[in-house]
Chain A
């Protein structure tokens, strides 16, 4: 009965290798270029393992795109130009941080708009509560007054 548990673990391990961290070491023309490289592969998405960036993915495509990023940097391209290169081929989805443009306005502003709506709703509800409380309080006062008066004989 232990067999299936072992097979399950082995199976999971076998698949996990596909999406785990990269280890190539590239030469760069300057420390700045190396920093640009690391930033780029941190901000470009691996399209195969879509929740990972190029830096963290061991998928074949990620290796190829890291190599491409390195080459483009060595050829003198700027990080912006390289980002444009990737977007031209793969679309905005390849960027981990989507650009702020018309079709992503809802994506960027949506959460804030939602927060605003919630705050307004809470505010309105609280005011309703206060409005209800006032007449109740008046009734309570009256009741106390009546109860504290000495009983008539």
Chain B
């Protein structure tokens, strides 16, 4: 009993496991941050391994993880798509200009509806999606140096095969 409770103390209740792991990524169709009249949807990414990084200009820990997302982008392993969550496009563009843009494409989820479909409950969150369009891995909270090397990159590499 004490052992069980003790084990429980090591768990983080803020990290809610996603029921979408192994399931198809939700359908979406969103306007692009830098080309507001154009849209991208799920089918545009089928057949390749890619990463979706959910972020916002108002999110403080997104600032902290940005250097690691940029690092990931520099490895040229996969495309990283930014999902700008519940944000103002102007603020998002300004943020990327100031801190650098690691994304192959940036999509706007202004009302957060796509976020709900992906089970987003806090930013930042990062998803790795396989060639079949299924979500293979989700990282909750800011990506750190350790989680980048030990979790995210291995997850990507396992899919690249």
Contact = CB atoms under 8 A, between A and B. Distances in A.
Interface in B94-151: 111-113, 116-119, 121-122
B15 to A, nearest CB: 11
A89 B119 contact: yes
B118 to A, nearest CB: 7
A87 B122 contact: no
A48 interface: yes
The size bracket of the interface on B is 10 to 19
Contact of A89 (B13, B112, B117): B117
Nearest to A68: B116
A64 B14 CA distance: 19
B interface majority secondary structure: loop
B25 to A, nearest CB: 12
Contact of B19 (A48, A61, A89): A89
Interface residues of A, number: 15
B22 interface: no
Contacts of B113: 64, 68
A60 B19 CA distance: 22
A61 B18 contact: no
Interface of A: 47-48, 50, 60-61, 64-65, 68, 87-93
